[in-house]
Structure 1
Amino acid sequence: MTFLLYLGKVMLCSGILLGYYWLFLRNKRFHHYNRFYLQGTLLLSVLLPLIRIPVLNQPQSPVNQAVYQTLAVLTVKDGEEELMGEGPGWAARLFTLENGLYLLYVIGVLVLLFAFIRSLLYIRRISKQYSFERIGGLKFFTTGEPGTPFSFLRSIFWNNELVFNSRDGQQIFRHELFHVQQKHSTDIIFTELITAFFWFNPFFYILKKELKAIHEFLADQYAISGNDRYAYAELLVLQTLKANNLPITNQFFQNHIKRRIAMITNNQSARYSYRSRLMALPVLALVFCAIAFRAQRSAEEDGKPVIAQKPITIIVDAGHGGIDPGAASLDGKVKEKDLALQICQKIQQLASAYNVNVVMTRSDENLPGGTTVIHDGLKARTALAQKINPDLFISIHVSSTGEQTVTSQTGFELFVSNKDDERAKQSKQLGSVVLQELSKVYAINETIKQRKQNVWVLEQTPCPAVLIECGFINNEKDLAYFSNSGNQETVAKKILEGIVNYKNKPVAMVNPSVIDHTPDRNERVEKTVKPAITTTAPVSSNSNSLPVAAPPPQQLFNDSTLNKLIKHFNRNTWYPKQALAQNAEGVVYFSVMVNRNGELNNFKTYEQAPAEANSQVTKLVIVSYARETGNAATEQLSNEELTKEYQSVMKKAAERKPDLSGCTPQLSPYYFQVSFRLEKKSATANKPVEAVVPASAGISDRQMLLPNGFLWKKQGKC
């Protein structure tokens, strides 16, 4: 689509420049200036979109801020799981929308080039058919052809019915002679070729027509020098011939008669003319900056691959092979082993452009190492990795639900080892970056996954390793997308870009919460959960209520977005008046998401801790002083009504806009548990409250664990 984008920029550039000409230069008497302006417009429109001048420093890639907080561990079939297929036939790959557009473009070019060549052949034919005389450096042909007189290059084709030595004949001859001297035919050949290759651009047809009009204005001006301009105008009117004209010649009797007569008889202010011409400079500068200058945000945006700073050696493993076909499409025609190999081969073909060296575990349909046993094939894969010790190991598969029915599950899935060591952490970082790149071209599962029973190639490789499931083979949309050769190339590029970004730029990581799914993928059990540390530190805009944040210390100092959210809810939450009036306490659960614009959305409340929170819930405590006696005059609320009051308070706090500038959008929601708690007043009510924090948290037992860093008093503001 890069070429189609270029054609669109050509149209935009020509449209802007033609618009300026139409408003300020058209039908003005500075014809030489207009001629070169129109020529320049054609040339700039074609060349300017090819110029790329970076004017901004490359900003920090979002990959530098990659954060994954939720790591789902899924139990799937034991052993290696891969996907691949045979792919569609040549007809399905050929008849695509993009190829159809290219075909239409080529047909248009060929039609116009044929018309152009036919005109040239006509001129060549009549130049051989009729005799000529040499007048100076030109050839003068006397013909009986319709459409004459006209000129082309250094030849004038005269009509034998027009008396050469008459007054009218001499003026017409001077007119055509000027075309020859000024080489107007080269302008026309240039515009015809440009129009042929950009036939879809309507602005070029208008430019071509205007350039021919300028040629006639200039030739008319030369022909009437020293003669009666009104007599010449009369000649144009009386002797206009109704004949077909060749598009590549300069005919005396053309259209533009009304405009030519106006140019001959009218005068214009020179002051206004100079002003109109000078206005072209800022317009040209604006177009040049808009088309040529660009912020260099990424190498991909400039049409060039992101290159690794140092050479990278990776092993690319096409899953399954040989007697192990892997999953298959519902009709059995597409097999996982074949489809995975096709994607891997695309990675291998493109890798050199990214400064990446690819070693394939298999390059044909057989199992790696020429083995005939599936288990030996798995060993051959990891033995190769241990032998060459690559930087990374990438295994390509295609997923399946294992059922002979169409599934609605779709998109990329990415698996890493379930071990808890440094190599596994690096694999998670690699997976996060690769998923971010793949999300730009197709749907992804936003959580990195693990299997309860570890995958051999992920466990036994000596380097960071990921397994990428490229869609679901029993999903028709996924099968069509990943079977397409062009889409396979796009996927390969994104995987390579993720690899290069991972090696070039460090990735921030937050300690993840892990959820383990049982083999039926329904029952959830906790695997690793960091207990939240609750602090009591009141702060509120209401003197009667004391909201307190209780973030886990590791998250507080590693996740700036969560840190800012805690600040926000600290400052915007109060104890509901009606709950306070009847000395009621309660707990409410809610979740929010942060979008790409740094705004909170998707606020949801829950009656109990949501299972999808994966036990990663940030705890907040809203503390107020209990009244000595409840307010009997106040209408007593039920537990359900009180819960709605608590939820309403948190919703209003979420609707207020926090400052989340510079934060990375979270792929999954933030979950909060808010406890509304009452305390009795004491003699120390006005003293600062200090947090009680375990020494393991790395914080002094006298230090306040508040995200805003201030020491708060119980009944005051900061």
Structure 2
Amino acid sequence: MDSIIYILKAHLLFIILGSFFHFFLRKEKNFHFNRFYLLGAYFISIIAPFLEFNFFNTVIIIDTSIVENSINDSKIIQESVGNAGTSLNLYQILKYVYLTLCIGSVSIFIIRFIKSYSQFNLVIRNSKFDYRSKVYWVENDIPALTFITKTLLPLKLQNNQEKDIIIKHEESHRKGLHFIDIFCIELCSSILILNPLNRLIKRYVVENHEYIADHYASKATEKNNYVNLLIRETVNNNSFKLASFFAKPSILNRLDMLKNNNTSSNKTIVAALLFFITSFIFSCNFNQNEEIVLAKDINTATVEEAIQITDKIFNVVEKQAEPKNGIQEFYNQLSEEMEGLYPEEAIENKIEGVVYLQFIIEKDGSFSNIQAVKGIGYGCDELAIEVLKKQGKWNPGKQNGNIVRSRRVIPIRFQINS
């Protein structure tokens, strides 16, 4: 798939899924569903555009005699189409700029993680592990936090009557493996780095972690007590960048969610349906493709059936259509016009092979319905089609002495010179 097309499809799918969450789901208390929806929005936006399921597929049976002569002649152009320029065009520049941004984003995340991990290790060296509550008590004046699978609490909370509630909150982060979500969205968001909803959805992922932990911890006390505790602890909000901690800054949203009782199963069902339907649409190729099946022997019944199906377009004729100056001169002309036009993307990816072009020779010798029935991609199919469109008229085919429309398949070989 074309890189730019993939990027555009990935961004558009993410915008659709992210917008639906923003307008319909973010104030719902289906926290666990929301968690997997948000993660799924990242994953499916990256994966679905890669998948190209052909929705329409038509099989056409063609006698090998239609292409046998052309296959032999295709050698004529294989050496002359491989000399393309190496200059960068706008497409290449955009692709490299985007790739650089993605790599830069991943690099920044790795640096941030290493820095946070180093800070965490410095703090935990002087900590005391409590096997009963599975937390590390430290003398530093830091808020309660969970980094990866370890929870840190300041010693000043050790005699606090509400410490068990805070431990419950951090336990939810630890047992829920919320750090995996953060890792995944940081990496996935690097691919969607220019998406306008990227930062917003990342924030929603982190906020949803806090909603889950608040809901879990608030069961251990009165809701009003928990709200008051949350407000007090919010005053101290210094922490590691990649940690989940009790007094996360989204205090107003968390207080609203504690008071909110909105839980709509209908919205959950609609969201799930939208997620799967939209993902399916973006993973499908709705272009009508024709699959060519070569057969050595085609009986009369098959020919008659083909004639009916193709509206008097003959796949097999008594006298084949051919170029006016012969097939060799035809390929020489193709060779000259393709000189130096080898697609740069194909050169970069070292793409070689044969593109099979199917077209109809009309009664006046002109071409119609030109398409690549079997291609190699990376711009080679499009180049072959464009060059064929520029060729002159052929001598049309004949059947029973009458000029008829006929179908023809020709191979064009692409090979990069060493």
Task: Quickly name the TM-score band, shorter chain normalised.
Answer: 0.5 to 0.7
Letter in 2 for 1:510: K
Structure-2 change in CA distance of 1:114 and 1:496 (3 Å): closer
Partner of 2:69: none
5 Å matches for 1:72-471?
93-129=86-122, 130-132=125-127, 133-136=129-132, 138=134, 140-142=136-138, 144=140, 148-160=143-155, 162-241=156-235, 243=237, 245-268=239-262, 270=263, 273-298=264-289, 309=294, 425-427=321-323, 458=329, 465-468=331-334, 470=336
Structure-2 change in CA distance of 1:139 and 1:60 (3 Å): same
Structure-2 change in CA distance of 1:298 and 1:137 (3 Å): farther
- C-alpha deviations, 1:247-292, integer Å up to 9, x for none? 4210222222111111112323x5xx11111112431243033212
| Shift in Å, 1:466 | 4.7
Partner of 2:35: 35
What TM-score do the two structures reach when normalised by structure 2? 0.66
Q: Please say which structure displays the higher CA radius of gyration.
A: 1
Q: Identity rate of aligned residues, in percent?
A: 19
| Shift in Å, 1:141 | 4.8
Matched, 1:501 2:354: no
- C-alpha deviations, 1:56-76, integer Å up to 9, x for none? 233879xxxxxxxxxxxxxxx
| Shift in Å, 1:238 | 3.0
| Shift in Å, 1:104 | 1.7
Letter in 2 for 1:12: L
5 Å matches for 1:517-596?
558=404
Partner of 1:548: none
What TM-score do the two structures reach when normalised by structure 1? 0.40
| Shift in Å, 1:217 | 0.7
CA distance in 2 between partners of 1:190 and 1:39 (Å): 8
CA distance in 2 between partners of 1:220 and 1:85 (Å): 63
| Shift in Å, 1:487 | 7.7
Structure-2 change in CA distance of 1:218 and 1:6 (3 Å): same
| Shift in Å, 1:43 | 2.1
Question: Of Structure 1 and Structure 2, which has the larger fraction of its residues in helix?
Answer: 2
Partner of 2:11: 11
Partner of 2:344: 486
Give the SS at the match of 1:54. Answer: strand
Q: Is the 8 A contact 2:138 2:153 kept in 1?
A: yes
Q: Is the 8 A contact 1:14 1:42 kept in 2?
A: yes
CA distance in 1 between partners of 2:344 and 2:259 (Å): 61
Alpha carbon RMSD of aligned pairs, Å?
Answer: 4.0
Q: Is the 8 A contact 2:14 2:42 kept in 1?
A: yes
Matched, 1:510 2:366: no
Letter in 1 for 2:151: I
CA distance in 2 between partners of 1:310 and 1:7 (Å): 40
Give the SS at the match of 1:55. Answer: strand
Give the SS at the match of 1:158. Answer: strand
Q: Which runs of 5+ in 2 are unaligned?
A: 62-79, 297-318, 367-400, 407-418
CA distance in 1 between partners of 2:270 and 2:87 (Å): 49
Q: Which runs of 5+ in 1 are unaligned?
A: 62-82, 300-305, 312-421, 429-449, 459-463, 472-477, 514-553, 561-718
| Shift in Å, 1:166 | 0.8
- RCO higher in structure (CA 8 A, sep ≥6): 2
Give the SS at the match of 2:54. Answer: strand
Letter in 1 for 2:28: K
Q: Is the 8 A contact 2:54 2:286 kept in 1?
A: yes
